[in-house]
Each structure stands twice: as C-alpha cells, then as structure tokens.
Amino acid sequence: MRSIAKILLIAGGLAAGFCWMVRRRRSRNVEPGRYADIVDSALIDASPDVVYRAVMDEHDGKTSWWAPHFTMQLREGDSYGEVGALVDNTVRVHGRFPVRFTTKTVEVEPNETIRVEYVAGAFRGEAQWGFVGVNDGTELSQRWRTRPAGVLRALAPLLPIGESHSDTMKVGFERLRGYVDRTLPAVP
C-alpha cells in the first residue's frame, strides 16, 4: 500500500511540475472567464470577391481546402453568409485533438465582412472576418474574441489556446493561397 502511495505522490508531483512548465512557456494561454482577443491576417493574391467566395464555400461544405485541420458543416440555413446560419466546426489541434463548437452568423457585408457568434461547444464569443482589397490582392483577417467554455474552460490555463488558434489560421491562409492559385484562371 505504501508503494502505491509513493507512486501517486511522485506522479502528482511530476504532473504539477509539467503544468507549471507549460504555463510558463505559453504566453497566449487564456485564463478561465477571460477573453482571448487575437487578430490573424494574411495577404492573399486574389480579389476580395474571390477570397470571400472561397471562405463562404469552405464554410458551406462545398470545398475542403482547410481539412483536416478545420472542418465545417452547415447545420441550419442555406449559406454561412446568411444571417442566422448555424455552422458546426471541428478544429483538430495540431492535426489530432478535436475541438468542437457552433457558430451563428450575425452580420454579413458581402466581400467585406462576416461576423459570427460562438453559441455552443468549446468557446463563447465572436469572430469577425475582414476582406480588404490591397493592390491586386486581399488582406484577409480574422479577429477572434472568445473565451473557453465547458471542459475547455477548466483546461484553459494549461493549454496554448491562442497560439493554437493562430497556428490553425496560418494553415488555413496557406491552404487558401494554394486553393486560389489552383482555381483561378491563368493571366496571360
């Protein structure tokens, strides 16, 4: 019995030490009850209407250029770009651990902005996509203002949530660039 107690004490100490190290190393952790407020952006070599359509098609399930890192399924409504539409989202953190949440579209200005609220699952808050024409391209941005919910809320101090979000966005931006390059007609 004493050896089991010693093993549990050692394991507990190791777990506490690991948690302390993770908290010290990660600067973009989200504390329970607090909002993450992160802006990620990229320049995409296509017009705002092309980039907007690509983002819409991905969320509507017509394309899969962001998979397997991020997948979406339209649950309610005809399009992500329709106010009131509900989309079930699954992010696979570092390609593995699924984090699920549901967004509701609350504001749309075609080719300019889409704003959604996180209404169920791992997050509560909002995100806003921006599509700004820059020369012959588009500055695509997303402001992500959320807080963890459910089980994720308890784990938030230990996890690099903000960093993982930005990593997922970077993957999406790169995949979007590749998708746009493959689908746009070549310019003579």
Q: How far is CA 75 from CA 79, 82, 97, 104, 105, in A?
A: 10, 12, 22, 10, 12
Tell me if 142 is assigned to some domain: yes
Tell me if 22 is assigned to some domain: yes
> What confidence score (pLDDT) does residue 173 get?
97
**Domain CATH for 66:** 3.30.530.20
Q: Is the pLDDT of residue 188 over 60?
A: no
Tell me if 95 is assigned to some domain: yes
CA nearest neighbour of 164 among 123, 118, 125: 123
Angstrom distance (rounded) from CA 122 to CA 42: 25
Q: What percent of the chain has pLDDT over 70?
A: 79
Q: What percent of the chain has pLDDT over 90?
A: 64
Q: How many domains does the chain have?
A: 1
Tell me if 83 is assigned to some domain: yes
Tell me if 23 is assigned to some domain: yes
Q: How confident is the model at residue 10 (pLDDT cuts 50, 70, 90)?
A: low
Average pLDDT, the chain: 86
What is the maximal distance between C-alpha atoms in the chain? 79
Tell me if 27 is assigned to some domain: yes
Say whether pTM exceeds 0.85: no
Identify the domain containing residue 13 by its residue range. Answer: 2-183
Tell me if 188 is assigned to some domain: no
